[in-house]
Amino acid sequence: MSSQPADAQAARVEDEAACIRLCVDFANHLDARRHDAVPELFTEDGVLDRMGAVFAGRDGLAQFLAARPADAVTRHLCTNIRVHFDAGDPDAATGSCYVLFFRGAPEQGGARALGPPSVVEYHDRYQRTPRGWRIRERLIRMAMQA
């Protein structure tokens, strides 16, 4: 049994849910091509490191999103999401998840898969801001490739 009061436990569960939502929203926004929504998931100085290519701040995130092929169809399936809170800073957390990544080409009635899926890992640092929890840093690393 936890030594935290019930209201502190409830707040921590809400914090964890907010961080998990950021993880999933990132994937869903990319797949739906809601590029305007992606930078809102990050802190103002947020960093996205995709396989060593680093995009920092709003301008960097805009550059990353603009470089995505206009005709690509993607699906990111997030799983094994874990969030850990920093004992010394109640406004900081880290997280990780596995992402099954599918890429396809548009076709009548859907999309055609372009090869088997890959598995990447997201390694995140989250920060509580006046606007709520945001991604401060996301590292995307290849875990398995077909």
9 vs 53, more confident: 53
pLDDT of 79-135, one tens digit each? 999 999 988 899 999 999 999 999 999 998 889 999 999 999 999 999 999 999 999
Report residue 6's pLDDT band, with 50, 70 and 90 as the boundaries: confident
What pLDDT, on the 0 to 100 scale, is given for residue 3?
64
SS3 string of 75-127? EEEEEEEEEEECCCCCCEEEEEEEEEEEEEEEECCEEEECCCCEEEEEEEEEE
The structural architecture, per CATH, of the domain 6-144 is: Roll (3.10)
- Look up residue 37 and give its DSSP letter: T
What pLDDT, on the 0 to 100 scale, is given for residue 95?
98
Res. 1: pLDDT tops 80: no
Backbone angles phi, psi at 131, to 5 degrees: -95, 10
Domain limits, the chain: 6-144
> Which residue pairs, CB below 8 angstroms and at least 24 apart, start in 32-38?
33/68, 35/65, 35/66, 35/68, 38/65
Tokens of 136: 């401060």
Which pTM was predicted?
0.92
Distance CA(131)–CA(8), nearest Å, equals 20
Up-side HSE of residue 20: CA atoms within 13 Å toward CB? 13
Report residue 2's pLDDT band, with 50, 70 and 90 as the boundaries: low
Q: Are 133 and 46 in contact (CB under 8 A)?
A: no
Q: Are 104 and 111 in contact (CB under 8 A)?
A: yes
Q: Give bridge partners of residue 111 from the DSSP assignment.
A: 106
